[in-house]
Amino acid sequence: MQAHLSALDDDMWFIVTDGSMKIMKVNTAVAITEDKRKANLDNVARDILYKTLDKNMFSKIKSCTTAKKIWEKLTQLCEGNDQTKENKLMVAIQNFDNIKMKPRETMNEFDERFSSIMIELNALGKSYSSHEVALKVMRALPRE
């Protein structure tokens, strides 16, 4: 009992001289380490994003404070809103529907142009079956 009172007195004296005691969680050191790790990862991610952007794009995201905010801003800038996406999809579908091999165009050039349209359609969520694609290519080629 005497030892218990002595410890209580020490604690009481600490409160008087240094102020109230702060009760900390058992895993405070782990939490602080985890917060530092997350902050460092965010810094690394922001640095990577900054290094991949040209000056024009960087000027549009430089006010973003986290990698997540940078990514969201880039997504908005590059993909646009729902209306913009819908317009892009309509244009890509029209390009697919209207594609024809041009006079003096090589098969490689046509293939690159056609592949570009297909990549854009896929990126916008539109896909065609292999049969539909084959038919489109056959119809796009000149009779010769």
Residue 143 has a pLDDT of 83
Residue 8 has a pLDDT of 41
Angle at 53 between CA 47 and CA 58, to 5 degrees: 85
Domain ranges of the chain: 2-79, 82-140
The structure tokens 């080629």 sit at: 141
Tens digits of residue pLDDT in 52-102: 998 988 999 989 888 888 888 888 888 777 788 889 899 999 999 999 999
Grouping H, G, I as helix, E, B as strand and the rest as coil, residue 128 is coil
Spatial separation of the C-alpha atoms in residues 2 and 47, rounded to whole Å: 60
**Where residue 25 falls among pLDDT bands split at 50, 70, 90?**
low
Grouping H, G, I as helix, E, B as strand and the rest as coil, residue 20 is coil
Spatial separation of the C-alpha atoms in residues 8 and 81, rounded to whole Å: 64
**Where residue 16 falls among pLDDT bands split at 50, 70, 90?**
very low
Residue 76: which residues within 8 A CB-CB, separation 6 or more? none
Single pTM value for the model: 0.49
The half-sphere exposure of 66 on its side-chain side, counting CA atoms within 13 A, is: 6
